[in-house]
Structure 1
Amino acid sequence: MTTPPTGPRVVDHAGAIFGLAVPVLAAAAGVAVTYVLEPRLPELIATPWSGSAPEALVSPTTSAWSLAAIVLIVGGGCGAIAALAQARLMMRRIMLLLGLTIVGGLLAAAVATTVRQLDATTVVDAPLHVGAIGLGLAVGAIVGLVGASLLRDHRVRTTATEAPAADLPRGAVELPITGQVGMSAGELAATGAALVAPAALVCWLADTWWPLGMYLPFVLLAMTILQFRLVVDAESIRVQNMGMSAIEYGTEEVLGAKVAQVRPFQDFGGWGFKSKGRGDQGVVTRTGPAVVITFACGDRLTVTTPRAEEIAGALNTLADQRLTRS
């Protein structure tokens, strides 16, 4: 009996568990805590607010179900992308980490605010508990990192059957070639300051600083996402981020590699992991030389690195050798 082909995987199981099941559990936990504590809560409670006045006074159950809806929209929206097996691995990991970090912060803020109003006979001015929110963000980020590390690239690989064009560079195949392709320490500091400054100004004008504490983790996440490590060996080309392979292609997929001068903003619209269209992605963190690798499936990967000439030459020569042997 012949087993029918299964075809490309549609759902990443780890993405479905962490991106969909975890937000559902978080939303359910928030509702459950409120129902358990409801006998000790006033008829109306204050929900999280900005500044010094409550945004709304609602019943505890209404607040709980509203929170559940927000958690499901944020976590489920990001998680749906993480669960799509054929979507870009880098994007799936970023969305999962971002979504679960927000979910952790929201759940912690709601629970802390509700607990502060226990046994109150009247509406209580319950300011947000910054420490609890920070802990929630940290726990959400940790769970997100665990989930992100379990995501896998399930795309269908296509082996190149043609040699690289004759006008592309060739060189010695001295692999592996590794190196950091992210921003320098000074560039990261400047980027962090540019991201924090607007939020700090808004907090100063509103005379409240707790939103900045919630914003800073996402600044750190953005700066982390701008740090990459490129690894090229005889088996694969990998771009690593946060200790995980965010982009990976086999060397047998290489159709050709060239060197180009890249300007992140003009050519890709910014720094970091960028996409110019379906299958055309780049890891661009500085102006200068970049290796541009074309694959048999039609994808193209651009990585800014001072070793672009060396990498392009090695990959083209390796492709020539593989086709000669076959």
Structure 2
Amino acid sequence: MSTPTTGPRVVDPAGVVFGIVVPVLAAAAGVVATYFLAPRLPTQIATHWSGSSPDGFMTPTASAWSMAAMVLLVGGGCSAIAALAQARLMTRRMMLLIGSAVVGIIVAAEFAMIFGQVDLADAAGASMSADAVVLGLVVGTAVGLLGASALRDYRVRTPATEAPAADLPRGAVDLPVADEVGMTAGGLLATALVLAAPAALVCWLADAWWPLGVYLPVVLLAVSLLQFRLVVDADGIRVRNLGMSAIEYGTDEVLGARVDEIRPFQDFGGWGIKVKGRGNCGVVTRTGPAVVITFACGDRLTVTTARAEEIAGALNTLADRRLARS
């Protein structure tokens, strides 16, 4: 009897838990809380505010189901991509982070809205606590980071069967090589100030601190996404960010590596992790030399690093040795 073959994994279990189950439970929590507190809520609760005055009202049950739909469609819609095992790991992690933050904000706002109107005779006098929204963003982001760290790369790997081209650089295989490939401290500070400036303006116009509380975690996350660590060893090439591998390839997949001069904005349309066409990914944080690695599956990875020549030479030599032994 022949042994049945199994295809590539389609679903990442951690992605199902954090990308689907968690948003569903969060949406359900708001509905359950509303039904439980319905006898103590006004017939029409405030659901929208202009400044400090409510200007939108809805029945508690209609509000609960509307918020649940918003959680599932917006937050859950982003997070669910994390469950697709064959999608790019960095895309799944990023969408899970975004989706979890959105879920946290919506659910926190819903609970603040509900509990703020318990035993209130007239919803016209209801107020909304912005502190809860900030807390929801922080908790949602923390859950997203936890879930993102649990995701795994299940893509099908294609070993290279050809040697790198003869004109590509060769060098000593002195592995591992690790390099910080993020923006300079000055660049990060300038980016943070540019991103935080709109929030500071909103705080001044609104005479309130909460817009900054919502925006600062977003600024910190954006700045963190411009800091990377490139690790190349005998087993693989990994680009790490936020303590996790955003991009992973095995050294046995390397078809060739070369050195190029990269200008982030002109060549990739910006800084950070950029995708330029199918399978063409760049980790570009500064102008200058970059190692450009092509893989047997057709993908290409560009990483700006001062050690581009060393890395390219080591990878090509390693590929030569591997094929000579096979």
TM normalised by structure 1 equals 0.96
Task: State which drifts further: 42-51 or 106-115.
Answer: 42-51
Deviation at residue 151 of structure 1 after TM alignment:
0.8
Structure 1: where are the runs of 5+ without partners? none
Residue equivalent to 1:226? 226
Residue equivalent to 1:32? 32
Deviation at residue 52 of structure 1 after TM alignment:
2.8
Deviation at residue 50 of structure 1 after TM alignment:
4.9
Contact 2:292 2:302 in 1 (8 A): yes
Residue equivalent to 2:193? 193
Rounded to whole Å, the distance in 2 between the matches of 1:72 and 1:10 is 22
Per-residue CA deviation, residues 2-39 of structure 1 (Å, 9 max, x unaligned), is 23222122221211111011101000000111111111
Residue equivalent to 1:21? 21
Residue equivalent to 2:77? 77
1:241 corresponds to 2:223: no
Contact 2:225 2:242 in 1 (8 A): yes
Contact 1:51 1:207 in 2 (8 A): no
- Other structure's SS at 1:49 match: strand
1:171 corresponds to 2:182: no
Deviation at residue 223 of structure 1 after TM alignment:
1.3
Shift in CA distance, 128/224, structure 1 to aligned 2, threshold 3 Å = farther
In percent, how many aligned pairs have the same letter?
71
Rounded to whole Å, the distance in 2 between the matches of 1:126 and 1:311 is 61
Residue equivalent to 1:54? 54
Deviation at residue 86 of structure 1 after TM alignment:
1.0
Q: Which amino acid aligns with 2:8?
A: P
Rounded to whole Å, the distance in 1 between the matches of 2:165 and 2:319 is 11
Deviation at residue 199 of structure 1 after TM alignment:
3.2
Contact 1:48 1:127 in 2 (8 A): no
Rounded to whole Å, the distance in 1 between the matches of 2:170 and 2:102 is 47
Deviation at residue 125 of structure 1 after TM alignment:
3.8
Task: State which drifts further: 182-191 or 46-55.
Answer: 46-55
Rounded to whole Å, the distance in 1 between the matches of 2:303 and 2:50 is 42
TM normalised by structure 2 equals 0.96
Q: Which amino acid aligns with 1:189?
A: L
Rounded to whole Å, the distance in 1 between the matches of 2:80 and 2:113 is 29
Superposition map of 1:201-216 within 5 A: 201-216=201-216
Deviation at residue 164 of structure 1 after TM alignment:
0.6
RMSD, matched Cα: 1.5
Residue equivalent to 1:8? 8
Shift in CA distance, 135/263, structure 1 to aligned 2, threshold 3 Å = same
Contact 2:260 2:289 in 1 (8 A): yes
Rounded to whole Å, the distance in 1 between the matches of 2:55 and 2:14 is 37
Per-residue CA deviation, residues 95-148 of structure 1 (Å, 9 max, x unaligned), is 101111121121111101211111111124444323322222222122111211
1:280 corresponds to 2:277: no
Superposition map of 1:254-269 within 5 A: 254-269=254-269
Per-residue CA deviation, residues 32-65 of structure 1 (Å, 9 max, x unaligned), is 1111111111111112435233241111112111
Shift in CA distance, 311/126, structure 1 to aligned 2, threshold 3 Å = farther
Rounded to whole Å, the distance in 2 between the matches of 1:294 and 1:204 is 50
Contact 1:20 1:75 in 2 (8 A): no
Rounded to whole Å, the distance in 2 between the matches of 1:108 and 1:114 is 10
Contact 2:48 2:57 in 1 (8 A): no
Contact 2:177 2:233 in 1 (8 A): yes
Superposition map of 1:8-157 within 5 A: 8-157=8-157
Task: State which drifts further: 183-192 or 224-233.
Answer: 183-192
Deviation at residue 324 of structure 1 after TM alignment:
1.2
